[in-house]
Structures are given as C-alpha cells and as structure tokens.
Amino acid sequence: MGTFGLWLGSGAAALRRRRERSAVAVRAAEPERRQEHAELLARLRELESTRTGDDAGHGGHRRTQEVAAIIGSTRAAADPAVRALTSRAETVLRHALRDLCDAALGDGAGEGPAEPEDLDTSVRALAAAVPLPVRVTVDVGPLAPAVAATVYAVICESLANVVGHARARQVVVTVRRHGPTVQVAVSDDGDGGAQPVMGGGIVVLAARVAALGGLLHVDSPPGSGTHVTVELPART
C-alpha cells in the first residue's frame, strides 16, 4: 500500500506539472492568437468596403478567392474568436459574388466573360471561391455576349445564395448547349425551402432571362436542396 501511495503521489505531481506547462503554452500563444484575429478582422473590413467595380483587371475574382481563403482559415482555427469570424467572412463572400453578378449585367466592366468563349474560365473562377466542393461542366460553344453575361450572372447569384443560406455540402453547375438553346443548372444539396422575393436577385434575373426570350425556374423543396434552371436562346 505504501508503494501504491508513493506512485499515486508522483503521478499527481506529474499531472500538475503537465497542467502548468499547458497553461504556460496557452499564455504564450495568446498574443499570437490576438494578432491573427486582429489581422483577419482588419482584412475582412477592407474587403467589405471594396466593390468589384473598384478593382482593376481580375480584382473581383481575386477578392472572392481571398475571402474564400479567409473562410478556410477561420473554420480551421483553434481559437474560438477566430472561428467566430467565419460568419462575417461568408457574408463578405456573398456580397462579393453579387457584385460580380451586378457587374456582368451592367456596363461590362466587371469580372464576367468579356467574350463568350471565356465563360468556362469565369465560371471556374467563381467555383474556386466557394468554400465547398463545386463540380463544373461548361460545354456550350459560341453564345451571344448578352446570353453569356446572363448565364454568368445566374451562376453568381445562385452561388451567393448557396453560401448565404443553403448549408449545402456540394454544388453542381452545368452549362450545356442543346440545339439553338443553352441550358443552365445550379443544384445544391442544402436545406431547400428557398422563397424568391420581389426585388431579390433571382427575381431580377428571371426578368432578365425573360427579356432574352428564356425561362428561369427555381425548385427548392424543403430538405431537398435548391435547383435553379435556365433555358435561353444561344443567340439573340
């Protein structure tokens, strides 16, 4: 019994030492964690105040990709204060995607496909910015510029909604030519139950699609994801 008591005492002392070392390590890491939080927060504030139209070249896509990288960092962070920045970063990404959509439908100064053949590259740049797997297929050939811009804008808006609301695990984006039409589908496996609202992005895009002679449809049964489909004439 005496030997057992001596062993127990030694074990308790070792446990105290480990706890003390752990506490010292936590205190030593605290300034680094605070610095990481401050730097990420400052960068997010800068990105919040940046509009895609203010960026030169491919700045809009760079913006979305930087925000996506921040989301990846915050989700993986050990510090709860850093992880708490994820929601803010997702909001910034959603706004950045909608800026790209607006720019594509505006004066053409944004990050959409300057030429219809750039559509595949532009859509893949969008997919790279979304912090979950996005499977992309683009096989369309030549499109009228207005059609290519509208297709790109629909994908921007759909991905913004996935980031903001869907709680999805993956997204599939398909753009294919079928005879004289181009068909677009953006499907996620999230919560579903999406309700397009007057003045919202999808409603505005539906009007744009209709003006080009096409049709936009949203199918979002609760619990079964959201599926946005568009059919447009390839040339207008």
CATH of the domain at 156: 3.30.565.10
- pLDDT value at residue 29: 46
Give the residue numbers spanning the domain of 52.
2-233
Dist. CA 153–CA 135, nearest whole Å? 18
Q: How many domains does the chain have?
A: 1
Non-local (6+) Cβ contacts of 216 within 8 A are: 154, 202, 205, 206, 209, 210, 228, 229, 230
pLDDT in tens, the chain (236 residues): 555 454 455 566 666 767 666 554 445 445 666 777 788 888 888 888 876 444 433 567 888 888 888 888 888 888 888 888 888 888 888 888 888 888 888 744 445 565 555 899 999 999 988 888 999 999 998 889 899 999 999 999 999 888 877 688 999 999 999 999 999 999 999 988 887 766 678 888 999 999 999 999 999 999 889 999 999 999 86
Query: What pairs with residue 230 in β-bridges?
Result: 184, 216
- pLDDT value at residue 76: 84
Dist. CA 223–CA 218, nearest whole Å? 15
Is residue 115 packed enough to be buried (19+ CB in 10 Å), middle (13-18) or exposed (0-12)? exposed
Dihedral class, residue 2 (left if φ above 0, else alpha if ψ from -120 to 50, else beta): alpha
Question: Is the separation of the CB atoms in 176 and 140 below 8 Å?
Answer: yes
